[in-house]
Structure 1
């Protein structure tokens, strides 16, 4: 998709519109229905939208073909105006071959998801359709005492109002919340800690570009499946990158970023935004100083590799649009503006 070609943006929604709630990867609503049902109540209360579930939304172990059939049904239904993924997973790459490109292209709809949904966002991007990175209903709408303010602001901008938002540091972050199968999941956040300032590198200049990228672990799979866009198609873009709850070490992140450099992608982009990485989980909880070291190590390898392949790119590391909470939803195929002097990140939700 050449950078000069404007990607199609779906029409914004209004209260009363129907939105598909789908599980293109893992059917988290079937695993933790109480969290899902609270997410749906909050979605209705905060947006006035009408959530529509499909046969595989709650079906654990649904086949790739069945999940694709639900996606195709949503793409083909003119009364469905957006598709919200409940969560990510690890096998969505097997769903993509069963999707109907003509249905998606005939009536572009807002699609929102992250992590394994990098597969779907990349597929839509290849069709000339913009989407949004972020917005898992099971992670960001259902758990805890309420929806985080920054998440709700970007959700409303993506679905309803459009316009520009300056992405601000919410000041606190959690890597994971209470176990979804406990009563605490519905009323408590996870353990939150104060955030550190975002790290900037590259020249003190302003750059604007359409975004492409996603989860490192999924981009790795896309590369092996030969589904990545060419460097020419990414000329002038803003690359968005983040790592998953699998907490890959900095050495892996270095290899992934280096491989993007060798492919020519890093040389093509105008800027790079890397999300704050999760560095703890229910199973692994390093002490605070070690968590800070792990985040810093990932930041360092990204900046070092970028300086090798494109020292003119503006780089910002730490923006919470990935696997931590609170989460900003950001444009995928829409534009982000980076100001390397003022150190601001502005997203356009038009």
Structure 2
């Protein structure tokens, strides 16, 4: 296994591929998608390039694999970004041409179900980027959150160290993307609560791996894109977060327990745990209910780590994954977690 390397970065004026490796939701919900494309052009100076399945619902895994290949193989395209997530990208992975992608390394941005492709690129030797979908972050009503916009810009165009900081305000409740009224006002936010540190008596520097916890569990079940030689993770930084499906605290504990039984948790020296998503249209929790859900999830994480990695440095409520604002995490890139100084620095 070679250490993932950073691919060349795009510059303003370059072309960026916009693909839908999971779901063609842009075809059903064009409002946030078109807004996201407009921001790629106006705010970031990039020219979006769409593919046959970008707006196509029900596309086959092979069709989506073909679009991934086309995006990476095109020398005029300098970066690739996912429109949104989904739930079956794991079926695309066996159809990908690893040598084609390895020969054409490019920054890929995506999260949620795109954890599949992020893990695939990690094993292909390419650092990628967990965060910044077109519909959710770039298509945020009225304006991107400033913390998100700054992180996306740094991840897209720079290659140095970037210090993360806790959100001053954050959002949990979503609104209907099909309703034009959604895009007439910014989402309601609430005051931030900062990060919570555990075993913060040391500094950890290492390469990152992880993503959406549910997808990581699926990859482990399918025995895909998780190296069998777990020594490659020694001293690394694990980052995890949960989706809008709001998995129960018991499910979170069991997934982590199984990762521990596989010998995976023990290899990492630090864990960045994303702020738990606590609201969905199917489960519109009150703030109190949401706080209870988040507290139960945190205890589930601690319960597993007390058994399998009791000394691990942990930071809870990092603004990564299914949350707003959202910071971009380099997948396979370098992360420094400074416990005594309470600082997290990523290298984009």
Task: Name the structure 2 match of 1:87.
Answer: 84
State the aligned residue count.
346
Deviations 1:19-72 (A, max 9, x none): 100000011210111221111111111111110000100001111110110001
Decide which of 13, 28, 31 is 1:31's aligned counterpart.
28
Asked if the contact 2:171–2:187 (Cα under 8 Å) also holds between the matched residues in 1, the reply is yes
Asked if the contact 1:177–1:191 (Cα under 8 Å) also holds between the matched residues in 2, the reply is no
Task: Name the structure 2 match of 1:290.
Answer: 289
Tell me, in whole angstroms, the C-alpha distance in 2 between the residues paired with 1:171 and 1:107.
Answer: 39
Q: Quote the offset at 1:203 in angstroms.
A: 4.5
Task: Name the structure 2 match of 1:7.
Answer: 4
Structure 1's unaligned 5+ residue stretches are none
Tell me, in whole angstroms, the C-alpha distance in 2 between the residues paired with 1:264 and 1:187.
Answer: 49
Task: Name the structure 1 match of 2:227.
Answer: 229
The CA RMSD measured in Å over matched residues stands at: 1.3
Q: Does 1:346 align with 2:348?
A: no
Task: Name the structure 2 match of 1:325.
Answer: 324
Asked if the contact 2:31–2:180 (Cα under 8 Å) also holds between the matched residues in 1, the reply is no
Deviations 1:61-98 (A, max 9, x none): 11111011000111111111111001110000001111
Q: Quote the offset at 1:200 in angstroms.
A: 1.1
Tell me, in whole angstroms, the C-alpha distance in 2 between the residues paired with 1:184 and 1:273.
Answer: 35
Q: Quote the offset at 1:249 in angstroms.
A: 1.2
Decide which of 161, 164, 168 is 2:165's aligned counterpart.
168
Q: Does 1:312 align with 2:311?
A: yes
Task: Name the structure 2 match of 1:190.
Answer: 187
Residues 67-76 or 27-36, more deviating: 27-36
Tell me, in whole angstroms, the C-alpha distance in 1 between the residues paired with 2:265 and 2:193.
Answer: 26
Task: Name the structure 2 match of 1:56.
Answer: 53
Tell me, in whole angstroms, the C-alpha distance in 2 between the residues paired with 1:242 and 1:203.
Answer: 20
Tell me, in whole angstroms, the C-alpha distance in 2 between the residues paired with 1:208 and 1:177.
Answer: 35
1:47 is paired with a residue of what secondary structure? Answer: coil
Asked if the contact 2:167–2:194 (Cα under 8 Å) also holds between the matched residues in 1, the reply is no
1:295 is paired with a residue of what secondary structure? Answer: helix
Asked if the contact 1:176–1:324 (Cα under 8 Å) also holds between the matched residues in 2, the reply is no
Q: Does 1:215 align with 2:212?
A: yes
Task: Name the structure 2 match of 1:74.
Answer: 71
Q: Quote the offset at 1:251 in angstroms.
A: 1.0
Tell me, in whole angstroms, the C-alpha distance in 2 between the residues paired with 1:188 and 1:94.
Answer: 38
2:316 is paired with a residue of what secondary structure? Answer: strand
Tell me, in whole angstroms, the C-alpha distance in 2 between the residues paired with 1:168 and 1:195.
Answer: 11
Tell me, in whole angstroms, the C-alpha distance in 1 between the residues paired with 2:159 and 2:299.
Answer: 34
Asked if the contact 1:243–1:323 (Cα under 8 Å) also holds between the matched residues in 2, the reply is yes
Q: Does 1:140 align with 2:137?
A: yes
Task: Name the structure 1 match of 2:116.
Answer: 119
Tell me, in whole angstroms, the C-alpha distance in 1 between the residues paired with 2:63 and 2:201.
Answer: 49
Structure 2's unaligned 5+ residue stretches are none
Tell me, in whole angstroms, the C-alpha distance in 2 between the residues paired with 1:68 and 1:193.
Answer: 40
1:280 is paired with a residue of what secondary structure? Answer: coil
Task: Name the structure 2 match of 1:264.
Answer: 263
Tell me, in whole angstroms, the C-alpha distance in 2 between the residues paired with 1:292 and 1:16.
Answer: 43
Q: Does 1:45 align with 2:42?
A: yes
Tell me, in whole angstroms, the C-alpha distance in 1 between the residues paired with 2:187 and 2:254.
Answer: 31
Tell me, in whole angstroms, the C-alpha distance in 2 between the residues paired with 1:67 and 1:126.
Answer: 20
